[in-house]
A and B are shown apart, each in its own frame.
Chain A
């Protein structure tokens, strides 16, 4: 703010001049000729003299672009509805809307081109930091102005100009030009940081545009396919987690008004593209995603858990006498890109856990375990902040998820250190299994549901975690001292099986083993016949097994 006298007017005059040059026939390829001429103009007006001045110039340009867009969109709305409330577009209004979009773009795109050219031509080719500093400056301005716009205009906020600036700037800076190669990764990082700042939880009115950018073919290609050594994967997983965190409270209540259904369905489409093109990405980042997705959001979670490496051939789960423990991949430890133990809170719990796993002390550990996992503070993790202790809020899901996986990983390492593989006998009678059995017995229905979900979230493609946790779930079923536990294990599996496809391989083989292996006496339980449609469902699954 507090621009020098006359800067705003000067900016507008200069920007208009640039826009004219940009659209003229003599602009030259990539506006190169126009740019050479215009830089002189900027120098004459002293715009490039100081860092502060060019920042102010850019800020005024962004505001100018925004105002132009708003004006032209408001014109359309006036024409369409005589000033009434906007209605979802019909054909004629869509034409009007696209015409004024073109007008908007004819102002915004030249500005973006100017920014991109200034970035490309700033600093020496060998010193990319000047370029990236300039990019971060502009992106920071767009964020600042947009957030100010949101706070000022609330429901009247209009995402179009910001969407256009960010999208076109990303496309400009990802063109296959040698001058950009040295900053490709830094550009991805800058945009990731910007989109994280503008994440839906902070800028809900920008969510649709945000997801358009994050799932744009060029953005996905750069992030997941082209960036070397998969350096974009961690960045992209952070953005996806931002989206899940925003959706979580609404999905958690399964009350999906149209705007949310739209966003949710859009998210499913993006995940399907990732499942099809980058399954390894979903495999390696599944843990963080499942921490953010609410436990009742079954199909979306199944979609993520169904991913398996493209070079892997999954044996048909219904193969008679399938010997899971003979599969070559079953002993391989899956990659998980986060430090699980850091999610086990409070620290005291983690220390006592390690101590208990090592030498089964403190002996009170098992009796205190549930208390540690109960929510005494507003829940972290799935972004739902209700007051602790409310229904569905008694436990810290993130800590419970981490504890289960952490203990499982320790158990697998322990078993493998003895040259064994997980089986009903090798997983039994261990500190690890004591903890799991204690959780199964000691928890109330809600807590046990979260606990069993934490296990079921590891039932994926053939790997050592799938194997161990499949055995664990079956072991807990077999050793349960109350039918309620067995029923709840069945429910957790069943609710993941009855939803539409896809279904994780590990889930299928666990359930098939449960209903096929007579040692679990599955069919003898009353709950199998609790309702005709449930009984029919079990029988239909059983038939497909036989």
Chain B
């Protein structure tokens, strides 16, 4: 009977697109903000 696709860790009712935070095919939850590279203004790169 297949599986319950709502239990794969994806928020299928999200009004936003899922792919920008998609954690990957084996991830049980989306990427966290600290996992996602962002092209922040150059001066923010303190390190």
A binding-site residues for B, Cβ under 8 Å = 29, 171, 175-176, 208, 211-212, 215-217, 220-221, 224-225, 262-263, 265-270, 272-273, 276-277, 298-300, 302-303, 498-502
**Are the CB atoms of B2 and A273 closer together than 8 Å?**
no
**Are the CB atoms of B19 and A220 closer together than 8 Å?**
yes
Select one of B14, B21, B39, B42 contacting A175, CB under 8 A. Answer: B39
Given contacts A215-B25, A268-B3, A299-B2, contact A273 B37 (CB under 8 A): no
Select one of A266, A277, A302, A499 contacting B25, CB under 8 A. Answer: A266
Shortest beta-carbon distance from A419 to chain B in Å: 42
Contacts of A211 in B (CB 8 A): 25
A215-B25, A269-B27, A299-B2 known; 17 new pairs, CB 8 Å cut-off, are A171-B37, A176-B39, A208-B26, A211-B25, A215-B22, A216-B24, A217-B20, A221-B19, A265-B3, A266-B24, A272-B8, A276-B12, A276-B18, A498-B1, A499-B1, A500-B4, A502-B5
**Are the CB atoms of A212 and B19 closer together than 8 Å?**
no
Q: Which 3 pairs from chain A and chain B are nearest by CB? A: A266-B25, A299-B2, A499-B2
A303-B12 Cα distance, complex, nearest whole Å: 13
Contacts of B45 in A (CB 8 A): 29
Contacts of B34 in A (CB 8 A): none
Nearest neighbor of B22 in chain A, beta-carbon distance: A217
Contacts of B12 in A (CB 8 A): 272, 276
Contacts of A270 in B (CB 8 A): 25
A29, A175, A215 — most chain B CB neighbours (10 Å)? A215
Nearest neighbor of B37 in chain A, beta-carbon distance: A171
Shortest beta-carbon distance from B21 to chain A in Å: 7
Shortest beta-carbon distance from B32 to chain A in Å: 13
Contacts of B14 in A (CB 8 A): 276
**Are the CB atoms of B1 and A268 closer together than 8 Å?**
no
A502-B19 Cα distance, complex, nearest whole Å: 19
Contacts of B5 in A (CB 8 A): 268, 272, 299, 303, 500-502
On chain B, which size bracket covers the interface?
A: 20 to 34
A303-B5 Cα distance, complex, nearest whole Å: 10
**Are the CB atoms of B3 and A266 closer together than 8 Å?**
no
**Are the CB atoms of B1 and A276 closer together than 8 Å?**
no
B binding-site residues for A, Cβ under 8 Å = 1-6, 8-10, 12, 14, 17-22, 24-27, 31, 36-37, 39, 42, 45
**Are the CB atoms of A217 and B21 closer together than 8 Å?**
yes
Nearest neighbor of B1 in chain A, beta-carbon distance: A499
Shortest beta-carbon distance from A233 to chain B in Å: 14
Select one of B3, B26, B37 contacting A262, CB under 8 A. Answer: B26
Select one of B3, B9, B22, B37 contacting A299, CB under 8 A. Answer: B3
Contacts of A220 in B (CB 8 A): 19, 22
Contacts of A500 in B (CB 8 A): 1-5
A353-B23 Cα distance, complex, nearest whole Å: 48
**Are the CB atoms of B26 and A266 closer together than 8 Å?**
yes
A272-B25 Cα distance, complex, nearest whole Å: 10
A263-B45 Cα distance, complex, nearest whole Å: 38
B2, B9, B24, B25 — most chain A CB neighbours (10 Å)? B25
**Are the CB atoms of A298 and B22 closer together than 8 Å?**
no
Given contacts A265-B8, A500-B5, contact A212 B37 (CB under 8 A): no
Given contacts A215-B25, A217-B22, contact A29 B4 (CB under 8 A): no
Chain A to chain B contacts (Cβ below 8 Å), 17 pairs: A29-B45, A212-B25, A216-B22, A216-B24, A262-B26, A265-B25, A266-B24, A272-B5, A272-B10, A273-B10, A276-B10, A277-B19, A299-B2, A302-B2, A303-B5, A499-B1, A500-B1
**Are the CB atoms of B10 and A298 closer together than 8 Å?**
no
A212-B4 Cα distance, complex, nearest whole Å: 22
Given contacts A212-B25, A272-B12, contact A225 B19 (CB under 8 A): yes
**Are the CB atoms of B18 and A298 closer together than 8 Å?**
no
Shortest beta-carbon distance from B47 to chain A in Å: 10
Contacts of B1 in A (CB 8 A): 299, 498-500
Nearest neighbor of B7 in chain A, beta-carbon distance: A500
Contacts of B25 in A (CB 8 A): 208, 211-212, 215, 263, 265-267, 269-270
Contacts of A502 in B (CB 8 A): 5
Contacts of B39 in A (CB 8 A): 175-176
A302-B1 Cα distance, complex, nearest whole Å: 12
Select one of B8, B21, B24 contacting A215, CB under 8 A. Answer: B24
Contacts of A208 in B (CB 8 A): 25-26
Contacts of B6 in A (CB 8 A): 501
Nearest neighbor of A262 in chain B, beta-carbon distance: B26
A268-B6 Cα distance, complex, nearest whole Å: 11
B3, B10, B24, B36 — most chain A CB neighbours (10 Å)? B24
Shortest beta-carbon distance from B22 to chain A in Å: 5
A217-B39 Cα distance, complex, nearest whole Å: 15
A161-B42 Cα distance, complex, nearest whole Å: 30
Nearest neighbor of A297 in chain B, beta-carbon distance: B2
Shortest beta-carbon distance from A216 to chain B in Å: 7
